[in-house]
C-alpha cells in the first residue's frame, strides 16, 4: 500500500502516515474570532468522530483566538493561512498543531523562511496545500491549461522549497473540484513523495452532489492505497462531513466500529413512513460505539428475510412492526414503539 510507505507526521496527539489509521478531518465554518461559537462546533465534530479540525485564520484576532480555543477542545487544531505570513507565525505561537499554507501565496522567500523557522521552533508540521484554482501562471502556460501534471509540479515545487530550508515535517494536499483530475493528480504524486497525503475533492458541492463526488473520488483513491487523512468537503454542517467520511472508510473496510444502517428503497407494500424512520435510526445510532449492522425494512412480509445479514433490524407494517435479531423475529410492537424498541435493544446489546 502506498499510504503505508509514507513517513509518520505528528499533529498534536494524532499520528498520520505509515500504518496509522486514516484520520478524518473537517473545517469549521464559524468565524474563528468567535471563540464560543467555534468551540461549540468543534465539540460537535469531536462527538461525531472528527480526528483533526481546521479553522480559518484571516486576521490577527483569529490567530490570537487560537489560544482560547485550544484550551477547550480535545483534538488537534490546524490553522489555515493565506497571503499573510505573520498570521501563520502568530497562530503557531498561540498553539496551533499544524498550519496549512501555500508557499506560493505567502510571498517572498524570506517570508516563507520565517514561517518555516517558527514551525521548526514549535515542532509544528506544515500542510502544503495546492488547489487547481491556485496554479501559477507559468505552470498553466507550460501545460496549456490546468492539468493534473501541473498540480503535481506546483505542489512538489513548494515541498522542495521547504525542504531546502531544512524542514521535512510536511503533509501534502492537492485538490481539484474536477474528480477525475483530482484522482489522476494523486496517482501521479503518490509514488513521487514520502510525505503523507491529505485527500479530498475540493468545492464538491451540497450534501447530495458533494457526497457523490467525494464518494467516487475518495473511494477510488483510498482503494488504490492513496491517502493518509481525508476530508469530505460539503456545503453545509461540517458534522455531515464526518458522517460521510466514516461511512466511506467503513464501506472500503478501512475503518471498523460504529453502526452501519441499511434500509430498503420502499415499494408499494410499504405502509409506514420508512424514509422518516430510517433517517431517525441513522441519527440515533451515531452515539453508539458498537460494530453492528442495523436494518430498517418497510415490509413485515419480506423484512425478516431481507434483514437476515443484519445484527438487528426493524420491519414496519400497517400500525405495527417487528424487532428482528440475526434474522429471527424477537417481538411485535406498535409502529409508534419501533424506534424505542430498537434503541432498547442497542442499549442492552449482547451477542
- The answer to whether residues 206 and 233 touch, using CB atoms and an 8 Å cutoff, is no
Question: In 3D, which of 33, 32, 4, 36 has the Cα closest to residue 17?
Answer: 4
Per the structure block, which three cell numbers stand in for 83? 497571503
3-state secondary structure of 179: helix
Residues near 177 by beta carbon (within 8 Å), at least 6 away in sequence? 132, 201, 202, 203, 204, 213
Characterize 330-351 residue by residue with b for buried, 16 or more Cβ atoms within 10 angstroms of its Cβ, and e for exposed: eeebebeebbebbeebbeeeee
Average pLDDT over residues 181-201: 95
- The answer to whether residues 85 and 115 touch, using CB atoms and an 8 Å cutoff, is yes
Lowest mean pLDDT: which of 98-107, 182-191, 239-248, 262-271?
262-271
3-state secondary structure of 129: strand
Residue linked to cell 464560543: 36
Q: What is the pLDDT of residue 319?
A: 77
Counting Cα atoms < 13 Å in the Cβ hemisphere of 101 gives 31
3-state secondary structure of 335: helix
In order of start, what are the domains of the chain with their CATH numbers? 2-251 (3.20.20.20), 260-347 (3.30.413.10)
- Percent of the chain whose predicted confidence (pLDDT) is above 70: 95
Q: What is the pLDDT of residue 310?
A: 82
pLDDT of 299 above 80: no
pTM of this structure: 0.86
d(CA 114, CA 272): 63
Q: Where does residue 20 fall: left (phi above 0), alpha (psi -120 to 50 degrees), or beta otherwise?
A: beta
Distances (CA, A) of 117 to 63, 89, 90, 121, 166: 18, 9, 13, 6, 9
Q: What is the pLDDT of residue 271?
A: 66
Let me know if 57 is exposed, middle or buried by CB neighbors in 10 A (0-12, 13-18, 19+).
Answer: buried
d(CA 279, CA 121): 48
Residue linked to cell 475533492: 201
Q: What is the pLDDT of residues 46-100, one digit of tens each?
A: 999 999 999 999 999 999 999 999 999 999 999 999 888 999 999 999 999 999 9
Q: What is the pLDDT of residues 159-180, one digit of tens each?
A: 999 999 999 999 999 988 899 9
The DSSP bridge pattern shows strands 98-101 and 9-11 to be unpaired
Amino acid at each position: 500500500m502506498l499510504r503505508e510507505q509514507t513517513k509518520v507526521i505528528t499533529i498534536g496527539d494524532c499520528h498520520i502516515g505509515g500504518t496509522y489509521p486514516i484520520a478524518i478531518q473537517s473545517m469549521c465554518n464559524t468565524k474563528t474570532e468567535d471563540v464560543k461559537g467555534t468551540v461549540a462546533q468543534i465539540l460537535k465534530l469531536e462527538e461525531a468522530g472528527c480526528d483533526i479540525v481546521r479553522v480559518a485564520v484571516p486576521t490577527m484576532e483569529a490567530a490570537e483566538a487560537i489560544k482560547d480555543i485550544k484550551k477547550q477542545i480535545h483534538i488537534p487544531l490546524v490553522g489555515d493561512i493565506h497571503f499573510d505570513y505573520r498570521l501563520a507565525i502568530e497562530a503557531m505561537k498561540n498553539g496551533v498543531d499544524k498550519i496549512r499554507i501555500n508557499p506560493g501565496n505567502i510571498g517572498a522567500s524570506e517570508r516563507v523562511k520565517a514561517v518555516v523557522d517558527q514551525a521548526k521552533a514549535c515542532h509544528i508540521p506544515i500542510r502544503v496545500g495546492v488547489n487547481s484554482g491556485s496554479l501559477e501562471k507559468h505552470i498553466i502556460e507550460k501545460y496549456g491549461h490546468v492539468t493534473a501534471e501541473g498540480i503535481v509540479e506546483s505542489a512538489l515545487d513548494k515541498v522542495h522549497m521547504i525542504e531546502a530550508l531544512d524542514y521535512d515535517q510536511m503533509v501534502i494536499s492537492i485538490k481539484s473540484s474536477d474528480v477525475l483530475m483530482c484522482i489522476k493528480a494523486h496517482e501521479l504524486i503518490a509514488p513521487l513523495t514520502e510525505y503523507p497525503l491529505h485527500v479530498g475533492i475540493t468545492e464538491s458541492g451540497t450534501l447530495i452532489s458533494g457526497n457523490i463526488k467525494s464518494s467516487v473520488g475518495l473511494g477510488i483513491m483510498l482503494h488504490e492505497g492513496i491517502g493518509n487523512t481525508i476530508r469530505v468537503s460539503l456545503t453545509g454542517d461540517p458534522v455531515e462531513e464526518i458522517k460521510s467520511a466514516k461511512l466511506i472508510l467503513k464501506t472500503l473496510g478501512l475503518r471498523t466500529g460504529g453502526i452501519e444502517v441499511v434500509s430498503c428503497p420502499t415499494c408499494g407494500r410499504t405502509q409506514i413512513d420508512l424514509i422518516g424512520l430510517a433517517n431517525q435510526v441513522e441519527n440515533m445510532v451515531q452515539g453508539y460505539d458498537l460494530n453492528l449492522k442495523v436494518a430498517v425494512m418497510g415490509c413485515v412480509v419480506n423484512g425478516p428475510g431481507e434483514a437476515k445479514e443484519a445484527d438487528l433490524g426493524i420491519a414496519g407494517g400497517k400500525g405495527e412492526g417487528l424487532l428482528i435479531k440475526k434474522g429471527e423475529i424477537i417481538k411485535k410492537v406498535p409502529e409508534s414503539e419501533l424506534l424505542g424498541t430498537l434503541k432498547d435493544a442497542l442499549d442492552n446489546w449482547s451477542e
